[in-house]
Amino acid sequence: MIDFKLDPKAGVPFYRQIIDQIKYGIATGNLKVGEQLPTVRSLAVDLKVNLNTVSKAYKELEIQNILETQLGSGTFIGNIEVKVSPKEKKEKLQGICREFLTIASSYGFSLNDMIAELNTMQSKTNQ
């Protein structure tokens, strides 16, 4: 299961962020075929968004055959392979980096400070 996070400053609608996180979750193997997703209501409550936001994301993914909804049972990851193109991955990483750099430099951190901290964090996660 993935831990959904929405960024109100990203300039991307919340439903689109949910869609992207599900697609990336499948592409990276964090979400498996047949895995059950949270209900629309529970995800909306967790993310503090309108039910229609989550419903719109789920419906769009159903249309793409990425999700399957079974009445009375829930919403599940469908049996479809999701690939993220190298271009899309690069654009996503560039957006993340751009936002990170903007925030960190607004607090006065240099590029070297940021690189050192990222290296420290990576070392801790590899232990």
Residue 11: predicted pLDDT: 83
pTM metric for this prediction: 0.75
Any long-range contacts for 35-44 (C-beta under 8 Å, 24+ apart)? 35/1, 35/76, 35/77, 36/74, 36/75, 36/76, 37/67, 37/74, 37/75, 37/76, 37/77, 39/74, 39/75, 40/75, 43/4, 43/18
Residue 9: predicted pLDDT: 83
**What parts of the chain have a pLDDT lower than 50?**
none
Q: What tens digit of pLDDT does each residue of 104-124 get?
A: 999 999 999 999 999 999 888
Residue 105: predicted pLDDT: 92
